[in-house]
Amino acid sequence: MQTLITGGPLFDGITLHDQGSLLIENGIIKEVFQKKMIIAGATCIHTQGDLIMPGIVDLHSDSLERSIEKRKGVFFDIEFAILNLDRQLACCGITSFCHAISFADNELGLRSPKEAERCIRSIKAFQTSGQALIKHHTHIRYEVGSKLSFNLIKALVDEGLVDMISIMDHTPGQGQFKSMESYMRFHRAEYGLALKKIMDKIMEKTTKKQEKNHLAWTLVADLAHIVTAAGIPILSHDDDTEDKIHLIKAMGVSACEFPVTMIAAKRAKQLGLSLFMGAPNLVRDASTNGNLKASDLLKEGLCTGLVSDYYPESLVQASFMVARQTGLETALSTVTSGPGAFLNTPTRPGFLTPAADADIIIVNQDHTWAHITTALVAGRIIFQMDPPIISPKPPNY
């Protein structure tokens, strides 16, 4: 069975064409045309002038944690949470989604090693259950110095359950929490901790890192070697200094996410690392913790792509906001081919090219905020509003 998508401009992941069409067969893109087409026998999806583009690729989102624990201390079944998040993501135009799951010894809430491992296994089980509308991937966040987590992650890598890894260091006084005040403010708001408990946690982290800093980074180096040997992409999280950039580069890390200073971002770019920023940061034009703004990185031409971080709906909107600075072609790549090229998978997410999976969205831009009208994964319609027109017969031109 063949399906033709036609009737609007087309962005193929690299180039924005004024008009374009896609021919899909058995869930795969068979042919890409740079004009409107009529193909006899193909079911036709006519976009009525709306934009045809690759499905959005999201490399980093904490949304599953927030779907399990909707209110502090109020937990929902993990399978229930994944199922409903899957449907939400389809409406957002996200067709490839990386669940960022934190592994940190002695951490709070869902970020304990045991709960994190359960999340990873549940994500992979859901992906193969036949219920998933979109493609779910696992992104493990490893807290520097976490020995128990190291062993668990190594086992998960050996089982083939890991698609991406990032290194994070939440020691107060550097990185994301460049001041003790920002660390305390976050933990008070996020976990409702009393001041004494926050201070105890600060002492635990800082003392342990000072005493075992060499051992902690030796574990990071060992983990980086394991995952790069397995062909798994690895990123570093919240980088703030040139020294940190040189360190992670030497370990085989190939991207930075959420760099917190411009000096770190520029050094990373000079060394050939990809740079990913949060879409909510761009939509709000502010970092949650007062760090580097995504808009500043874009002005310098340093941003490879955007991730949803904690707000999936922000990705499609952010891409059109980027267009005001860079033009639409470059802007659309920040949520498609930019992150898609980093995700190591043969299905070519983020690109509309022959032999790639037909992961496609159609976007209407008639109002203040862009919205998805249709989304397809492997050629299957997973979300659809009233337009576009779907017909077994091609339209007359």
Answer whether residue 376 shows pLDDT above 90: yes
386 and 254, same structural domain?
no
Looking at residue 172, what is its pLDDT?
A: 55
**Is 231 contained in some domain?**
yes
280 and 253, same structural domain?
yes
Which domain does 308 fall in, by range? 56-168+212-342
Answer whether residue 245 shows pLDDT above 60: yes
293 and 232, same structural domain?
yes
**Is 173 contained in some domain?**
no
Backbone φ and ψ for 387, nearest 5 degrees, come out as -80, 160
Residues 6+ apart with CB under 8 A from 220: 142, 144, 167, 251
**Is 120 contained in some domain?**
yes
pLDDT tens, position by position, 132-173: 999 999 999 999 988 899 999 999 999 999 999 999 986 654
Query: What is the pLDDT confidence band of residue 301, given thresholds at 50, 70 and 90?
Result: very high
Q: Summarize the confidence of residues 9-13 as an average pLDDT.
A: 98
Q: Which residues pair with 237 in a beta bridge?
A: 257
Looking at residue 352, what is its pLDDT?
A: 98
pTM: predicted TM-score of the whole model, two decimal places? 0.88
| 329 Rama sector, left if φ>0, alpha if ψ -120 to 50, beta otherwise | alpha
104 and 63, same structural domain?
yes
pLDDT tens, position by position, 122-135: 999 999 999 999 99
337 and 278, same structural domain?
yes
Residues 6+ apart with CB under 8 A from 263: 241, 242
Residue 250 to residues 26, 271, 303: CA-CA distances in angstroms? 43, 10, 21
356 neighbors 1 (Cβ within 8 angstroms)? no
Angle at 22 between CA 308 and CA 386, to 5 degrees: 65
Looking at residue 174, what is its pLDDT?
A: 45
Query: What is the pLDDT confidence band of residue 205, given thresholds at 50, 70 and 90?
Result: low
291 and 219, same structural domain?
yes
Q: State what percent of residues in the chain have pLDDT above 70.
A: 85
69 and 30, same structural domain?
no
Answer whether residue 212 shows pLDDT above 60: no
Query: What is the pLDDT confidence band of residue 388, given thresholds at 50, 70 and 90?
Result: low
Domain at 270, CATH number: 3.20.20.140
**Is 106 contained in some domain?**
yes
Looking at residue 170, what is its pLDDT?
A: 63
Q: Summarize the confidence of residues 311-340 as an average pLDDT.
A: 95
**Is 186 contained in some domain?**
no
**Is 119 contained in some domain?**
yes
237 and 327, same structural domain?
yes
219 and 362, same structural domain?
no
257 and 113, same structural domain?
yes
User: Comparing 182 with 232, which gets the higher pLDDT?
Assistant: 232
Domain at 44, CATH number: 2.30.40.10
**Is 135 contained in some domain?**
yes
Please state the domain count of the chain.
Answer: 2
pLDDT tens, position by position, 326-360: 899 999 999 999 999 999 899 999 999 999 999 99
Q: How many CB atoms lie under 10 A from the CB of residue 206?
A: 14
384 and 260, same structural domain?
no
Q: Summarize the confidence of residues 252-280 as an average pLDDT.
A: 97
**Is 174 contained in some domain?**
no
145 and 276, same structural domain?
yes
